[in-house]
């Protein structure tokens, strides 16, 4: 079969590879000048630092199948994300852990004492937290919420945490020990040569052709037996029902020498600091050594048409519109919508790969029947 895959990010590359290995011819197009979508990494010409061009990407998963898969295509070196935050004039450790609690409250609590202490602060009248704010007040109480989450979240999402779902905060653990690893997952690491090299290796198959700087045109679909669409779901339908909301990021780059901030990611919890965080890219590759350093101040705002979409907003308004687009997608034979943009969900890389592998599997098992969704 002739397969067209729109988008050369993780979804397109993984599905393309699986189908190519099963004997299908895969044409992958991408409107950008590079592969790897928002995981794109590149070596900075001035300093030699490996840059996470669209912001930090740290690979973490509990899925052994996905971990084996990525290790087939890249050498992963150990990397644990240890995030710090500057709030109310001091630096703290994230995710909230025993050190954060003891430093913030000036205490010397042990784990059980800290648990009781935080439970006293928590608003236990909130039975089933629905919003981000309720989730925070229920699990960490007002002081930690104010310092670490409220301002940051207002900047990140451009709205009040009372309007956001609890699920966004559920991504972050609270720990009653001194473990400051940002993620719980068993497998964590960073591809030694960056994500773009890993995705190039996935795409390196004789049945795959990749065309960059190439916008989709319906004529291309007419030449294919099936299309996998990893571009924006609403974009496929020419935004005919309206636009699904996204947050986009602006990065303000600054260069220096040596070590600017001593860690890869420093968040800024205060509302009056306009950026959400500063990333210092050399710290994502701690096995390398560079004289120079490159940092990004990260600003979040609502995406305008033409901006790179990052985070699906998924507020009530978007959810209703999303349902209509999902109905349209279901009624579109011969096209499978995949990935973060194609399904309008906040997906980590490991989940994206798992879904891509499963989608390819489903497609291959229904091959003769045509559409797989
Ligand atoms: N968050 C926050 N303060 C922080 C870090 C995160 O309030 O210092 C909130 C914010 O709303 C964010 C969410 O928690 O969107 C999830 O955080 P995560 O670090 O997973 O965000 P990502 O790295 O995906 O942007």
> How confident is the model over 111-140, as a mean pLDDT?
95
Confidence of residue 243 (pLDDT cuts 50, 70, 90): very high
Q: Which residue, by CA, sits nearest to atom 12 of ligand 1?
A: 153
Does the C-beta of 94 come closer than 6 Å to ligand 1? yes
Q: Output the DSSP codes for 120-147.
A: HHS-TT-SS--BHHHHHHHHTHHHHIII
Q: Are residues 16 and 71 in the same domain?
A: yes
Q: Is 19's pLDDT higher than 90? A: yes
Residue 341 lies in a domain: yes
Residue 179 lies in a domain: no
Q: Is 373's pLDDT higher than 70? A: no
pLDDT digits (tens, 9 = 90+) for 255-286: 999 999 999 999 999 999 999 999 999 999 99
Given 247, 260, 297, 310, the catalytic residue:
247
Count how many Cα atoms sit within 13 Å of the Cα of residue 368 in the half-sphere of its side chain.
0
Please tell me the distance between residue 157's alpha carbon and the centre of ligand 1 in angstroms.
Answer: 10
Segments forming the whole domain that contains residue 73: 2-42+57-77+190-238+313-369
Out of 156, 164, 300, 345, give the residue to mutate to test ligand 1, the one with the largest number of ligand atoms within 8 Å of its CB: 156
Q: Are residues 29 and 154 in the same domain?
A: no
Q: Are residues 12 and 156 in the same domain?
A: no
Does the C-beta of 300 come closer than 6 Å to ligand 1? no
> How confident is the model over 206-223, as a mean pLDDT?
97
- Is 192 noted as a catalytic residue in this protein? no
Q: What is the pLDDT of residue 368?
A: 56
Q: Are residues 326 and 364 in the same domain?
A: yes
Q: Are residues 97 and 144 in the same domain?
A: yes
Residue 16 lies in a domain: yes
Residue 292 lies in a domain: no
Confidence of residue 173 (pLDDT cuts 50, 70, 90): confident
Q: Which ligand 1 atom is at minimum distance from the Cα of 267?
A: 8
Does the C-beta of 153 come closer than 6 Å to ligand 1? yes
Q: What is the pLDDT of residue 372?
A: 42
Q: Are residues 196 and 156 in the same domain?
A: no
Indicate the number of domains in the chain: 2
ipTM of the complex: 0.97
Q: Are residues 227 and 322 in the same domain?
A: yes
Residue 358 lies in a domain: yes
Could you tell me the CA-to-CA distances from 6 to 13, 26, 172, 232 in Å, in that order?
A: 10, 10, 32, 10
Confidence of residue 170 (pLDDT cuts 50, 70, 90): confident
Query: Which one of 141, 170, 199 terminates a domain?
Result: 170
Summary mean pLDDT of the chain: 96
Does the C-beta of 152 come closer than 6 Å to ligand 1? yes
Q: Are residues 342 and 210 in the same domain?
A: yes
Does the C-beta of 171 come closer than 6 Å to ligand 1? yes
Confidence of residue 370 (pLDDT cuts 50, 70, 90): very low
Q: Are residues 67 and 110 in the same domain?
A: no
Confidence of residue 369 (pLDDT cuts 50, 70, 90): low
pLDDT digits (tens, 9 = 90+) for 285-332: 999 999 999 999 999 999 999 999 999 988 877 889 999 999 999 999
């Amino acid at each position: 079969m002739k397969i067209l895959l729109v988008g050369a990010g993780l979804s397109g590359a993984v599905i393309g590879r699986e189908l190519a290995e099963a004997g299908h011819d895969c044409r992958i197009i991408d409107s950008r000048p590079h592969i790897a979508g928002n995981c794109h990494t590149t070596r900075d010409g001035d300093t030699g630092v490996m840059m996470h061009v669209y912001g930090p990407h740290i690979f973490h998963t509990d899925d052994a199948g996905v971990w084996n898969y990525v290790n087939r295509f890249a050498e992963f070196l150990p990397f644990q994300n240890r995030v710090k935050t500057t709030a109310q004039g001091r630096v703290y450790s994230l995710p909230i852990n025993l050190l954060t609690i003891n430093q913030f409250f000036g205490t010397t609590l042990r784990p059980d004492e800290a648990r009781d202490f935080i439970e006293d602060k928590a608003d236990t009248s909130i039975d089933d937290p629905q919003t981000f704010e309720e989730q925070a007040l229920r699990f960490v109480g007002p002081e930690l919420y104010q310092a670490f989450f409220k301002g940051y979240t207002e900047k990140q999402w451009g709205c009040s945490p009372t309007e956001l779902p609890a699920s966004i905060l559920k991504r972050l653990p609270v720990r009653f020990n001194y473990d400051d690893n940002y993620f719980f997952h068993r497998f964590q690491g960073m591809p030694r040569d960056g994500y773009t090299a890993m995705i190039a290796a996935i795409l390196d198959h004789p049945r795959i052709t990749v065309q960059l700087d190439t916008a989709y045109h319906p004529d291309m679909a007419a030449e294919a037996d099936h299309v996998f669409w990893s571009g924006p779901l609403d974009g496929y339908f020419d935004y005919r029902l309206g636009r699904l909301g996204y947050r986009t990021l602006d990065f303000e780059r600054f260069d220096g020498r040596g070590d600017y901030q001593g860690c890869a990611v420093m968040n800024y919890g205060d509302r009056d600091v306009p950026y959400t965080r500063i990333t210092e890219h050399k710290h994502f590759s701690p096995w390398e050594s560079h004289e120079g350093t490159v940092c990004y101040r990260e600003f979040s705002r609502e995406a305008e048409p033409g901006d790179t979409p990052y985070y699906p907003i998924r507020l009530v308004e978007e959810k209703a519109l999303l349902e209509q687009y999902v109905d349209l997608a279901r009624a579109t034979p011969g096209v499978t919508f995949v990935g973060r943009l194609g399904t309008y969900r906040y997906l980590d890389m490991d989940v994206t790969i798992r879904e891509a592998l499963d989608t390819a599997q489903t497609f291959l098992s229904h091959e003769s029947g045509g559409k797989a969704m």
